[in-house]
Amino acid sequence: MADKKDSLITRIINKTSEIINYCWKGVWQETRDTTGIRLLKVANLSVRSFLDRDLQTKSMSLTYSTVLAIVPALALIFAIGRGFGFQNLLEEQLFKSFPAQKQGITFALNFVDSYLKEASQGIFVGIGIIFLLWTLISLLSYIEDAFNQVWDVKHPRSLYQKVTDYIAICLMVPVLMICSSGVSIFMSATIQDNTHLAFLTPFVNIALEAAPFFLAAIAFTLSFFLIPNTKVQFKYAAIAGAICAVGFQILQMLFVNGQLYVAKYNAIYGSFSFLPLLLIWLQLSWLILLAGCVLTYSLQNVFAFNFIDDMSGMSINYSRKVSIILTAAIVGRFRKGKTPLTPQQLSFYYDIPLRIVSRICERLNKAGLTNYIVLPNDKTGIAPATETGKLSVGELLSRLDHVGGHDFIHRFAIVYSGILLKIDKWLNEAYSSLNNILIADIDLPEDSNKEQAIVDSNKKFINLDGNPTTSSGNI
């Protein structure tokens, strides 16, 4: 009987271990594209995002940038608010939107008053405005860089676009805060003054209670949709925005109701107890935002994360093989007169994870073998940049091997000059031996169903999975 119990416990432990291992690692080896697999990958990726050291490092950097920018940002908001006569309304809206940071906001507002007084006097007017705008633009630029890294975007906005877009955002925020507060006041006053609408009072109260969640969801959604310098599908940004809004509201509740921890910090830090709490709250808030960005990317490009654990360990030999396949695909389509494919379409057609495709396409571009071109549907296609009839496997590998810097180690070329000459000779002989094999002669298998899906995605602006949309992610 005891043996049977031990056997049952062992089977349960082994089965549980198999399930956990599949959910954490095995799911990324799945080639099926079912709803359950997608949800499991998204959930897996969400957990990985919060555990990702790189995201935590970015959130800490953004926390530091936020501390520098918080007073200039509030100064700009209140300068605009004072111009419209809505300073008190803005203060109420700030306290309502961030109930966990009332003490920190109060402390910052004292600095804002001093900042605005100094900014309106003498030479500090011009310097103050320049510093204010530079601080805000640098913060938003860092946020965009973090989002672009998640989306594998290699080309950020131009300086002109950054200045115009970011200033527009800075000017719109206080106006939206004033409008949202005004709508709340208008709804409450209308119900109270009109006895015929008294029955709507419970619904209005519920709507006002839920307003912070909806405002947070809208803010997150617009961040995921507008900040990355690429085309993001709104539905995925909205899903991630709603999830992040829930997480953000939970974070607010934890900080508002965590009076025990506040009392402990008061005992240690005294009147400055709000500062460490503010920093912790800021870092967790930025972590939620960055994780939401990763979630948006994963929802739109779940297949991009296939074989997620194997990418960092991909050998040079295997990378060369994938590079030859992708180059043959790009050259083959060009020689047949077909429309160049985007990185997403290359990933879809040849069953190669998007991040590997993006990385190799970037190396091909740096090697002068391909160009990024704008297609009629505003997508970014990959086209050959050399004479396709003469490009050999040897030349391809030679160019790829020479991408990057070649002078990292001091006196390396002097100390090992004789050996390096021999190594160069051996490598050149290896490349030359492959010069008789042309990329154009490599025939890749074709799939008529996938070809038709790509044609439809170009003409009808639909996703590769057939869902209607107005946009899709580009490199």
> Contact at 8 Å (CB) between 271 and 207?
no
Q: Which of 254, 273, 300 is the C-terminal boundary of a domain?
A: 300
* Domain count within the chain: 3
Residues 13, 113 share a domain: no
Using CA atoms, how far residue 384 sits from 151, 348, 350, 351, 366, in Å, is: 24, 19, 18, 21, 12
Q: What is the CA radius of gyration of the chain?
A: 28
Amino acid in position 355: R
DSSP state at residue 470: S
Taking the C-alpha atoms of residue 400 and residue 320, their distance in angstroms, rounded to an integer, is: 9
Amino acid in position 340: P
> Contact at 8 Å (CB) between 355 and 307?
no
What is the pLDDT at residue 464?
46
Taking the C-alpha atoms of residue 238 and residue 217, their distance in angstroms, rounded to an integer, is: 8
To 10 degrees, the CA torsion angle through 474, 377, 163, 178? -100
DSSP state at residue 438: B
Q: Closest Cα partner for 467 from 243, 147, 234?
A: 234
Mean pLDDT of 405-425: 85
Taking the C-alpha atoms of residue 275 and residue 286, their distance in angstroms, rounded to an integer, is: 16
Mean pLDDT of 87-92: 71
Residues 74, 26 share a domain: no
Residues 130, 20 share a domain: no
- Across the chain, what does the average pLDDT equal? 77
Amino acid in position 406: H
- 299 three-state secondary structure: helix
Is residue 307 in a domain? no
Residues 286, 189 share a domain: yes
Residue 331 confidence class, pLDDT cut points 50, 70, 90: very high
Is residue 469 in a domain? no
- 444 three-state secondary structure: coil
CATH (domain of 440): 1.10.10.10
- Is pLDDT larger for residue 194 or for residue 236? 236
Is residue 465 in a domain? no
Residues 14, 119 share a domain: no
Taking the C-alpha atoms of residue 298 and residue 151, their distance in angstroms, rounded to an integer, is: 9
Q: Closest Cα partner for 225 from 246, 247, 250, 242?
A: 242
What is the pLDDT at residue 116?
67
Residues 381, 332 share a domain: yes
- 374 three-state secondary structure: strand
If you search the block for the tokens 């608010």, which residue do you land on? Answer: 81
Q: Is 385 exposed, middle or buried (0-12, 13-18, 19+ CB in 10 A)?
A: middle
Is residue 201 in a domain? yes
What is the pLDDT at residue 369?
93
Model confidence pLDDT, tens digit, residues 28-80: 777 676 778 878 877 787 777 667 667 888 888 888 888 887 777 777 777 76
Is residue 468 in a domain? no
Q: How many Cα atoms occupy the beta-carbon half-sphere of 3 within 13 Å?
A: 0
Is residue 39 in a domain? no
Is residue 44 in a domain? no
H/E element, 189: helix 159-193
Taking the C-alpha atoms of residue 122 and residue 441, their distance in angstroms, rounded to an integer, is: 73
Mean pLDDT of 335-359: 85
Residues 364, 254 share a domain: no
Q: Which of 91-105, 124-138, 282-296, 443-457 has the highest mean pLDDT?
A: 282-296
Residue 266 confidence class, pLDDT cut points 50, 70, 90: low
The residue range of the domain holding 412 is 316-460
Using CA atoms, how far residue 58 sits from 153, 154, 287, in Å, is: 17, 18, 8
Residues 66, 104 share a domain: yes
Residues 20, 124 share a domain: no
Taking the C-alpha atoms of residue 201 and residue 324, their distance in angstroms, rounded to an integer, is: 67
Helices and strands per DSSP (H, E), number in the chain: 18, 2
Q: What would the two tokens of residue 54 be?
A: 């790189």
Model confidence pLDDT, tens digit, residues 151-209: 877 777 877 787 777 777 766 766 666 666 555 555 555 655 555 555 566 666 676 67
> Contact at 8 Å (CB) between 376 and 360?
no
Return the beta strands (E) in 314-461 as ranges.
370-374, 380-384
Residues 232, 126 share a domain: yes
Query: Residue 244 pLDDT more than 70?
Result: yes
Q: Closest Cα partner for 240 from 45, 98, 14?
A: 45
To 10 degrees, the CA torsion angle through 323, 326, 332, 335? -80
What is the pLDDT at residue 329?
92
Residues 270, 354 share a domain: no
Residue 302 backbone phi and psi in degrees, to 5: -55, -40
Taking the C-alpha atoms of residue 92 and residue 85, their distance in angstroms, rounded to an integer, is: 14
Residues 279, 252 share a domain: yes
- Buried b / exposed e over 343-373, threshold 16 CB at 10 Å, is bbbbbbbbebbbbbbbbbbbbbbebebbebe
Is residue 24 in a domain? yes
Residue 472 confidence class, pLDDT cut points 50, 70, 90: very low
Amino acid in position 233: Q
Mean pLDDT of 226-239: 88
